[in-house]
Amino acid sequence: MTSPNIQEEIARRRTFAIISHPDAGKTTLTEKMLLYGGAIHLAGAVRARRASRHATSDWMNIEKQRGISVSTSVMQFPYDDMLYNLLDTPGHEDFSEDTYRTVTAADSAIMLIDAAKGVEAQTRKLFEVCRLRAMPIFTFINKMDREGRDPLDLMDEIEQLLGIHCVAVNWPIGMGPSFRGVYDREGDLIHVFERGGGHGSRKVIDQATGRNDSALENLLGPHGVKAFHEDLELLDLAGEPFDHGKFLDGEITPVFFGSALTNFGVEPFLQAFGRMAPPPTARPTTDGPREPANEKFSGFIFKIQANMDKNHRDRVAFLRICSGRFDRGMTAHLVRDGKDLRLNNAITFFAQERKTVEEGYAGDIIGLYDPGVYQIADTLTEGEKIEFEGIPRFCPEVFARVYAPNPLKRKRLDKGLKQLSDEGTVQVLYPPEALSAAEPVLAAVGRLQFEVVQQRMLEEYDVEIKLDALGYTTARWLDMPEDFDHRKFVHTGISDVFVDTRGRRLVVFRDEWTLQYAVRNNEDVVFRTIAPNPVT
């Protein structure tokens, strides 16, 4: 019998990720949600970076220098008697694999769209990542305080390019300098905002009225009122009504408009998000779906981050709780190797700030100090031998041989690369015959990952590394008979074979044509875009 306490705690939790193209305003929206949740009292606006103040969720030096997020941040905050677990994902396309791992830990996602640019390339990629998980997706069209595209055109583009129906939950009143607020279609409320100081660093004043309020003419003028009512009539006639079931199934996306920078529309969106977003849901395991209300504790590791605090040289494993209750000091079973571990030091995060966790429930994200025992996709239980669905590793697209100019630092190089590989920051490969005796090869989805590795190796391990680019552009994981000779694929400058730190074979090619030639001539080999044995 499930205790009422667990049921109540599950019902008040919302665990979600924010996805967007770079520069759509994701970090700004993150901070404004924290502002309204009372987690911060003054948002570190993006513009304030010029004064050396950086976004709350960015903690790496490279993030602060470039103004981009390259690592997932986890933040927990309360709002309106609910508890939110926010996963701020990397926006840059070179880090989409980290985004995928993060999405596995979320129950819903917020897709952020720039009102002037519409659906951009990385938005499409990240949307497909969410669709692979059949995840409910909210859409927040941002930067309405600037001149942008027609809202109806933006919704049409989302439907055409992403193949998901849009339902406008609210509607913008004006655009650019004339942006006055948003209209809540369900509640027949117009939220009129007064501009706050400090580029939206504080909450704005919200005054509500109805769509037929005569005061609107003073606010919008006769022409503005006419255009506003025409848009609403068109939406009422042609728009699809919101269906919560279709939303949960990923068939429709509720659309909201606003400006994260000035706070226009952020709080109404946060209120609607709390009502509409799903609480923690069942998770697939090797023994069938695991319900969050199951009283036995379970969860999985979706991210490992080393050296978040360089003063302590620590390593933290991020755990998504899937069922039951976590209690500080409890004993958990690591299913992969059968060990029992005492969970004495668990923490929650607010960017770099940490707080010791005494208890947690399904949907919560907690950090476990890791002495090197955890791997991505590890399952923790109270003794049950079940495992959650594995987190796949995708094929890399860029490759470089790595070495340390100072040969005395080879051991430190190997240690640093192993930790970064465990985190998923980069893939580390070796020739099958030489393994760790040879110079390792770094493999990644994008070149910016290499820059992160170089900087972190220097700052965190005191090792300067050099990279020699390899001319391979595509790769596949090999699933082949035991007696197959992989050396058949080794042709200097054309193709080669490596193994990763888990012993999986990866074949690399200089171009797509060479790959297709190999596929046609090796019918007994399976060439996979995802590792044949997911990370477990």
Please give the backbone phi and psi of residue 506, each rounded to the nearest 5 degrees, phi first: -125, 125
What is the topology classification, in CATH, of domain 298-381? Answer: Elongation Factor Tu (Ef-tu); domain 3 (2.40.30)
Between residues 292 and 436, the one the model is more confident about? 292
β-bridge mates for residue 74, sequence order: 87
What mean pLDDT is predicted for residues 84-105? 72
Indicate the pLDDT class of residue 51, thresholds 50, 70 and 90: very low
Indicate the pLDDT class of residue 68, thresholds 50, 70 and 90: very low
What mean pLDDT is predicted for residues 285-301? 95
CA distances from 65 to 49, 60, 61, 495 (A): 9, 9, 6, 37
Encode pLDDT of 448-505 as tens digits: 888 888 988 998 889 999 999 999 999 999 998 888 888 899 998 899 999 988 888 9
Compute the radius of gyration of the chain from its Cα atoms: 25
Encode pLDDT of 202-218 as tens digits: 555 556 677 887 777 77
CA distances from 481 to 251, 450, 504, 524, 528 (A): 41, 33, 13, 7, 14
Q: Can you list the positions of beta strands (E) in 352-503?
A: 353-356, 359-361, 365-369, 379-381, 398-403, 427-430, 441-444, 466-470, 474-479, 495-500
Alpha helix (H) ranges present in 133-181? 151-162
CATH class of the structural domain 16-68+95-276:
alpha beta
- Whether residue 404 is predicted with pLDDT greater than 90 in this model: the reply is yes
Q: Residue 242 is encoded by which pair of tokens?
A: 């919101």
Torsion 216-217-220-222 (CA) sign: positive
For the chain, give every residue range classified as CATH 3.30.70.3280.
398-528
Q: Residue 370 is encoded by which pair of tokens?
A: 């890791």
Encode pLDDT of 307-366 as tens digits: 655 555 578 899 999 999 999 999 999 999 999 999 998 988 765 577 899 999 999 999
- Whether residue 439 is predicted with pLDDT greater than 50 in this model: the reply is yes
Chain position carrying tokens 């979600």: 16
β-bridge mates for residue 113, sequence order: 141
The whole-chain average pLDDT of the chain stands at 84
Instruction: Please state, for a pLDDT cut of 90, what percent of the chain lies above it.
Output: 45
Helix and strand totals (H; E) in the chain:
12, 29
For the chain, give every residue range classified as CATH 3.40.50.300.
16-68+95-276
Task: Return d(Cα 506, Cα 525) in angstroms, integer.
Answer: 12
Indicate the pLDDT class of residue 196, thresholds 50, 70 and 90: low
Alpha helix (H) ranges present in 67-189? 96-103, 121-132, 151-162
| Ramachandran category for residue 48: left, alpha or beta (phi over 0 → left; psi -120 to 50 → alpha) | alpha
Indicate the pLDDT class of residue 536, thresholds 50, 70 and 90: very low
| pTM for the predicted model, two decimal places | 0.80
SS3 content of the chain, % helix, strand, coil (to 5): 30, 30, 40
pLDDT of residue 3: 52
For the chain, give every residue range classified as CATH 2.40.30.10.
298-381
Is domain 398-528 given the CATH code 3.30.70.3280 in the classification?
yes
Q: Pairing between strand 252-257 and 137-142? A: parallel
